[in-house]
Amino acid sequence: YLDEVCRHKGRGDHRMQGQCPDCLSRKSPNAGLPTYRCIDCFVDDLVCESCCHRRHRLEPLHRIKVLISLKWNGLWFEKTSLHQIGLCVQLNHMSMHCRAPIAGHVSFKVLHTTGTHDVAVDYCGCERQLPPHIQLLCHGWYPVSHKVPTTCASF
């Protein structure tokens, strides 16, 4: 049992992997280093920063350890967040793209079952625009204030 626990806490089956498996499967000419692991994804593989970012566009509250990623530094995993690697949640658009995004509060927080998360949020500012608190509610986040939302709780 201890061997498996130690294997899982380290690089596990991926210790000999030198290139990101997602980059390789997409035939990316510049495959990144597989240094990020999500705690909440079922698959515990290691991927590069950009693939971790891409994988979590629709899962912004995953703990890549409390919305925190585990980054391999050669000896152990360090904490980093999806917010720190540039993930921004675009509200009111299933395609994740808005022609006129409006940046949310700079220190926006979401309270979730996995912890408190710093999240970069862009509200929709195009013809599909709804009030910011409605955009948050549509996303499953209950805002503390409807005037200038800075904190939400997931539901």
CA distances from 52 to 5, 73, 152 (A): 23, 16, 24
Q: pTM for this one?
A: 0.70
Average pLDDT, integer, range 38-62: 87
Cβ 69 vs Cβ 82: under 8 Å: yes
Q: 94-136, pLDDT tens digit by residue? A: 767 899 999 999 999 999 998 899 999 999 999 989 999 999 9
Local confidence band at 4 (pLDDT 50, 70, 90 cut-offs): confident
pLDDT of residue 68: 47
